Structure 1
Amino acid sequence: MSVSVSRIVHASVLLDFGGARILTDPWLSERPFYYQGEQRSIATATDLPELAGVVISHAHYDHCDLDALRGYPDKNVPFAVVRGLAKSVRAAGFRNVTELDPWQSTHLGPVEVTATPAEHGVPEVTFVLRADGRTVFFGADTLRIDALDEIASRFGELDLALLPINGLRIRPAFNRQVVMDAAEAADLARVLRPRLAVPIHYSFTSGPLGSRLITKVATRDPEVFRAAARDIAPDTTVEILDPGVVLAL
């Protein structure tokens, strides 16, 4: 099976498993203090291709932009989401929603989707997606937690890991870290040993005021992750993708 990946923006990615396209964590608009920091490759939901399914890791707006996603015409497209989110997805008009706890699975078309652990200060999961022997890990914006190491023993070889890297901290919460940073993402790559790793979740900015008062990031430069992975996870090839660029695995 041919598999490809294309970033839309932030942690919103299109994964194509032999024509079965899965959308991750849709974010298709902006609002004050939530700026994408790069030109997204899909302008609106009506520009999305036909989807086999959608996965959503958690309810934060920059990962779960349901108001913008309402424009997607197929209201029967299946969703796999963190437990507790189905009511909001159905309220946006989508009828086929499955909630998952870590290690529970469902299918979106031919793609098996398994929720995996995450920690972000709100209910969240990450995902492993598999079809025809090809396996992809989607890291959403979790912290680097030990529970993620179990993915390696449960799923074996990964073709691709999509890893958040900006190390986001919340200033009003005493600079509490809520997302893994580039070095921590490289350490996760060391454990998971994916053939390829693509950094995600790094261009976001909360704007000049928000960056002073609300958020603090460790890096917005994906090359920092590439350098860390070169030292920590040398068996993994890092590919940095601009939005809209298609990478075939």
Structure 2
Amino acid sequence: MTTLTHVGGPTVLMELDGWRILTDPTFDPAGRRYGFGWGTSSVKQSGPALAAGDVGPVDVILLSHDHHADNLDDLGRALLPGATTVVTTRPGARRLALPNARGLAAGETTRLTAPGKPSLTVTATPCRHGPPLSRPVAGAVVGFALAVGDRPGVAVWMTGDTVLHRPLRRVARTLDVDVVLLHLGSVRFPQTGPLRYSMDGRDAVDLLALSRPRVAVPVHYDGWSHFAEPPQHLRSTLAAHPGSRAVVRWLEPGIPTGV
């Protein structure tokens, strides 16, 4: 069993076969506006369910990208040196310049070991954080597929911030996934009108039909002003499709939950 504690936004504390894994650490309080480049910005509307000091020791931080504050804020950044390993994008690892940081491009893999624990294999999965041709603006982003020891399949897949595009569909068809963390919210900015920078509920339905996980956990869909899909609309969309409704688990922030 995997135990997940949703801290807020994309931040999840994961306990997986002895490994303590933290995803996209964000621990700043609510109320601040953060710039996202090219004139875009967003206000953090909800604070974390756990304080950074309450997380405890962390073996691995999975950082989908380091350059947007809704995935790595100031208090989250302060946790990076204390983790045994930080896995992120190649450009992110160069910017962080930390001795514990490992950079991966989509399709690349790193294997982590620790005494008394099964090995953990981390494979970066493709993300496109916006419409076609947006990568030079949005920057490099990856998701992560985790495999434990010699067990077949993927124990946990964190999609990362992405729209539903062809490489993501292709990966979803090939991964044998137990638990998937879905980054949703349908991010939009006034400056770019109807263009979306992350998946919405309909995309989630399609992705779950392709990947067929045992459990799907929506994260990163509320708490910021740049999310365009209201949470209740997201819930209704997922509940309206039997295949999605059967696998989706909504986590209570701050409460450890076995999945």
> What do residues 193-217 of structure 1 show as CA deviations (whole Å, max 9, x unaligned)?
00100111111223xxxxxxxx460
The count of corresponding residues between Structure 1 and Structure 2 is 232
Q: When the two structures are superposed, what TM-score results if normalisation uses the length of structure 2?
A: 0.81
Asked if 1:147 is matched to 2:157, the reply is no
* Alpha-carbon shift at residue 106 of structure 1 (Å): 0.9
Secondary structure of the corresponding residue to residue 237 of structure 1: coil
* Residue segments in structure 1 that go unaligned for 5+ positions in a row: 207-214
Mapped partners of 2:256, 2:237: distance in 1? 20
Asked if 1:127 is matched to 2:134, the reply is no
* Alpha-carbon shift at residue 19 of structure 1 (Å): 2.1
Asked if 1:100 is matched to 2:104, the reply is yes
What is residue 206 of structure 2 aligned with on the other side? 187
Mapped partners of 2:105, 2:169: distance in 1? 17
Mapped partners of 1:170, 1:48: distance in 2? 32
* Alpha-carbon shift at residue 224 of structure 1 (Å): 2.8
What is residue 227 of structure 1 aligned with on the other side? 239
* Alpha-carbon shift at residue 245 of structure 1 (Å): 2.0
The answer to whether the 8 A contact 1:160-1:196 is kept is yes
Mapped partners of 1:80, 1:63: distance in 2? 14
Q: Higher mean Cα deviation, 216-225 or 177-186?
A: 216-225
Aligned residues with identical type, % of pairs: 27
Mapped partners of 2:227, 2:253: distance in 1? 23
Q: When the two structures are superposed, what TM-score results if normalisation uses the length of structure 1?
A: 0.84
Asked if 1:83 is matched to 2:82, the reply is no
State the Cα RMSD in Å: 2.2
2:75 to 50, 68, 76: 68
Mapped partners of 1:216, 1:248: distance in 2? 27
What is residue 116 of structure 1 aligned with on the other side? 125
Mapped partners of 2:76, 2:22: distance in 1? 11
Mapped partners of 1:169, 1:53: distance in 2? 30
Mapped partners of 1:73, 1:99: distance in 2? 14
Mapped partners of 2:80, 2:223: distance in 1? 28
Counterpart residue identity of residue 126, structure 1: G
* Residue segments in structure 2 that go unaligned for 5+ positions in a row: 35-41, 114-118, 130-137
* Alpha-carbon shift at residue 68 of structure 1 (Å): 1.2
* Alpha-carbon shift at residue 160 of structure 1 (Å): 0.7
Secondary structure of the corresponding residue to residue 33 of structure 2: coil
Mapped partners of 2:185, 2:93: distance in 1? 28
What is residue 197 of structure 1 aligned with on the other side? 216
What is residue 228 of structure 2 aligned with on the other side? 217
Mapped partners of 1:226, 1:154: distance in 2? 22
Mapped partners of 2:44, 2:20: distance in 1? 23
